Amino acid sequence: MQVTISGHHVDVTEAIHNHIESKLERLTHHSDLITTINVTVSVEKQTQKAEAKIHVNGKDIFADAESDDLYTSIDAMTDKLDRQLIKHKEKLRSHR
């Protein structure tokens, strides 16, 4: 699994990087088929935004979240990715 973390108008500090990676570890419990994860954090005026794109088994899953706090945005984004990944996994099981 390849994780790419980038920042738009914000420096990605070691603390932010570690927080993102610790949250993304939860996603690997659901699927071993995750090949790449691209995470972008950005700041626009008072809005902190986190968005991610995951490539799983030939399909891309996208989620984003906005908040006043960057860490809250990251948490909400990973929750959305978690729900979407579980839904994708259930679809694969039911169609086979």
CA dihedral 26, 30, 36, 38 (to 10 degrees): -40
Range(s) of the domain holding residue 15: 2-95
pLDDT in tens, 46-61: 899 999 999 988 889 9
DSSP H stretches of helix in the chain: 14-24, 70-95
Q: Which of 63, 29, 69 is nearest to 46 (CA)?
A: 69
With contact defined as beta carbons under 8 Å apart, do 26 and 82 qualify?
A: yes
What is the CATH number for 61?
Answer: 3.30.160.100
Q: How many structural domains is the chain composed of?
A: 1
Per-residue pLDDT tens listing for the chain (96 residues)? 788 999 998 888 899 999 999 998 888 887 778 889 999 999 988 899 999 999 988 889 999 999 999 999 999 999 999 999 988 888 888 765
The DSSP call for residue 27 is G
pLDDT at site 17 = 92
Q: Tell me how long the chain is.
A: 96
∠ CA(53), CA(55), CA(58), 5° rounding? 140
Structure pTM?
0.87
In single-letter form, the type of residue at position 8 comes to H
